[in-house]
A and B are shown apart, each in its own frame.
Chain A
């Protein structure tokens, strides 16, 4: 039992580090570029040298690397100063695996290399106002018209819709069969006429998501992935890749920062860190943080061995999000009245870290599967417990009871 690389891993790490250190863009190279341009610049450079989407087959822009090599590359990339490339995550992490399984080989050749190189950005159009945790209850409809489909309806929580070139979309093509059976899956050009994108303002004040409205949007049937009515099955391919890509979050709100805060503020005239209640809470969070870290090490060990990881890693977001929320809340309490100030200029020590976490973390407990859905997934897929009985089973979608929400 150790934390060491195998000889092969170590050689790969060295190769990756050498390339990254020599090629990470300098501030001079990036000057004048916005967030998106910087990301695209860096992604293109990686792709040109064979360091983008390395697990993909060579023909699509990858190098057929194994999962542990991908992890090693990410670890090494995190050590060098380089632009954010998170805007490509949905396309590369979710759309691409689906395209690899279901798109025609011409479309794979046409779209996948441009996804790898960051030339195209993709978004995911799944959630709807009426279909959140119950995603398959979505109502956006597509009707056949010659070689096209005509789409009407509304999607929500679409990250990056406003800067995306393409999107993956699940729609209802037959409302007269049970809900999972009436869905079909497409990809589409986000510049298609009839698409309207409206940002959603979150409680944090930021806008990371959009509503996307479809009015008579035409999609060629050739952009359908999977058979008509098989959209749910195709969507599961995408979703299997989603939960893996949503991290534990919380950013800088962690044991070390909250401990540092507790050393800098007082309780009863003494540093808060000397208070037993504070120490016990910090210890519990340390245990959780450590547990998550070493759980991921166990997952990496399985990858390193060439095995499929066990279900351990499914707990990351479930544990991490609540932990960050509780830590941020506690940090604000430690600051007393001053704690409610959310001003990164005034707060020299922490730049409003805890307040920002407090206001943004509720979203993480919902995104990509709510805490409750994650608990159901653990209960059903890991522990083998039965599903709750469902009122919508076996009846046409049009007859499923709906509420007002």
Chain B
């Protein structure tokens, strides 16, 4: 049994943590949260210099050709730091879409730039409130020109390219398109969200040039595959955030005194923090499973991804809200950092579909896998 990370990955984790401690302290998150920046561009450049954006991209496209085990270790540390950068959009979604469905030419055009972090990518599929499905898609492409609107697209205003899921007359009802953002016929309008440390915008296409990505009418199945893969990586970000919350809550509780003793000595607090530890531990073990399935391209990836996704989403929500609770009134102030994780936990909870959708995918996957 060797169900654990190797020395190389542990080394990358240590390096990543050290790097983010130096380059993404809470002041950087706060700067983006409070200010007008759409993301921490200086941090993004340094992340690209570290090669993180190139991790799993094959060497022929300018990447490092490393495995997903290295990438999830980095994801965990980015989550722990609550980094205000478009890593999830560009690396887990846009890059994955190109790797999975891109033509040789599309890969050659975009992957080297994505690897170098010169270019930021994202993916858009939602069109309004509630669950989006292939049948109701309004965004459509005619003769290579795309029209319609996508809502609340992460990092849309800073993206150079966007993978757009649009309607298709045939197949599964959807096709994926690649749209360069830097052209007329694409406009973004910022939206105010519960997490201003990340950029989100509504995007309107009005006859912009769009290239088919993958096959016509296979867009929804393609999207599902990309989301399964992204779910594992996002689960690791969520897990990093969950552990950060647990550590913050422990540190605060130890130092906070009430009725003559540390509040960390009260069972009401101890049991809350023990619960947090239990949820984080189960989520971590499921995230290991997800990482293994992603890395080995296992048939059970949809099940492993949904399991990791549901576990980490629940753990992060619990840890982020109970971290505020443990801090008492101060946890509710703008001055304290608890808010970073409470905001981010909800953004990550819905970015690729809510907990309920993944619970549903999980049960469907157990019908396919002979799950005990």
**A residues adjacent to B (C-beta < 8 A):** 1-6, 9, 68, 254-256, 259, 273, 276, 279-280, 282-284, 286-288, 290-295, 297-298, 300-305, 312, 315, 318-319, 372, 375-376, 378-380, 382-389
The answer to whether A256 and B282 touch across the interface, beta carbons within 8 angstroms, is no
> In whole angstroms, how far apart are the Cα atoms of A282 and B360 in the complex?
10
Contact flags (1/0) for B11-54 with A, using CB distance below 8 Å?
Answer: 00000000000000000000000000000000000000000000
Residues of A within 8 A of B291 (CB): 1
22 A-B contacts (beta carbon < 8 Å): A2-B2, A2-B292, A5-B1, A276-B360, A279-B359, A283-B360, A283-B362, A286-B363, A287-B282, A290-B307, A292-B285, A293-B285, A297-B288, A298-B285, A301-B2, A315-B278, A315-B282, A375-B275, A383-B250, A385-B265, A386-B261, A389-B261
Between A256, A259, A293, A385, the greatest number of chain B beta carbons within 10 A of the residue's beta carbon is seen for A385
The answer to whether B359 and A280 touch across the interface, beta carbons within 8 angstroms, is yes
> In whole angstroms, how far apart are the Cα atoms of A186 and B301 in the complex?
54
Nearest Cβ on chain A to B55's Cβ, whole angstroms: 16
Nearest Cβ on chain B to A325's Cβ, whole angstroms: 16
> In whole angstroms, how far apart are the Cα atoms of A318 and B271 in the complex?
12
The answer to whether B285 and A1 touch across the interface, beta carbons within 8 angstroms, is no
Nearest Cβ on chain B to A192's Cβ, whole angstroms: 40
B120 contacts partner chain A, Cβ-Cβ < 8 Å: no
With contact pairs A283-B360, A376-B270 given, residues A1 and B4 touching in the complex (Cβ less than 8 Å):
yes
With contact pairs A286-B362, A304-B1 given, residues A385 and B310 touching in the complex (Cβ less than 8 Å):
no
Residues of B within 8 A of A380 (CB): 270
Residues of A within 8 A of B306 (CB): 283
The answer to whether A1 and B3 touch across the interface, beta carbons within 8 angstroms, is yes
> In whole angstroms, how far apart are the Cα atoms of A294 and B303 in the complex?
14
Residues of B within 8 A of A292 (CB): 282, 285
Nearest Cβ on chain B to A373's Cβ, whole angstroms: 10
Residues of B within 8 A of A4 (CB): 1-2
Q: Which of B252-270 contact A (CB under 8 A)?
A: 253-254, 261-262, 264-267, 269-270
The answer to whether A290 and B289 touch across the interface, beta carbons within 8 angstroms, is yes
B372 contacts partner chain A, Cβ-Cβ < 8 Å: yes
> In whole angstroms, how far apart are the Cα atoms of A312 and B273 in the complex?
15
With contact pairs A282-B363, A372-B267, A389-B265 given, residues A287 and B307 touching in the complex (Cβ less than 8 Å):
yes
- Interface size (B, Cβ < 8 Å)? 50
In-complex Cβ contact of A300 among B3, B266, B282, B371 (8 A): B3
The answer to whether B274 and A378 touch across the interface, beta carbons within 8 angstroms, is yes
The answer to whether A286 and B307 touch across the interface, beta carbons within 8 angstroms, is yes
**B residues adjacent to A (C-beta < 8 A):** 1-6, 69, 246, 250, 253-254, 261-262, 264-267, 269-271, 273-275, 277-278, 281-283, 285-286, 288-289, 291-292, 295-296, 306-307, 310-311, 314, 356, 358-360, 362-363, 366, 371-372
The answer to whether B362 and A298 touch across the interface, beta carbons within 8 angstroms, is no
> In whole angstroms, how far apart are the Cα atoms of A319 and B285 in the complex?
14
Please report whether the interface of chain B is mostly helix, strand, loop or mixed according to DSSP: helix
With contact pairs A1-B69, A294-B3, A384-B250 given, residues A256 and B311 touching in the complex (Cβ less than 8 Å):
no
The answer to whether A298 and B267 touch across the interface, beta carbons within 8 angstroms, is no
Nearest Cβ on chain B to A68's Cβ, whole angstroms: 7
The answer to whether A287 and B286 touch across the interface, beta carbons within 8 angstroms, is yes
Residues of A within 8 A of B286 (CB): 287, 290-291, 294
The answer to whether B310 and A284 touch across the interface, beta carbons within 8 angstroms, is yes
Residues of B within 8 A of A287 (CB): 282, 286, 307, 310-311, 314, 362
Q: Which 9 A-B pairs have the closest CB atoms?
A: A291-B282, A283-B359, A379-B270, A294-B285, A378-B274, A375-B274, A295-B285, A297-B3, A386-B265
> In whole angstroms, how far apart are the Cα atoms of A379 and B360 in the complex?
34
> In whole angstroms, how far apart are the Cα atoms of A385 and B270 in the complex?
7
In-complex Cβ contact of B271 among A9, A301, A372, A384 (8 A): A372
The answer to whether A385 and B253 touch across the interface, beta carbons within 8 angstroms, is yes
Residues of B within 8 A of A294 (CB): 3, 285-286, 288-289
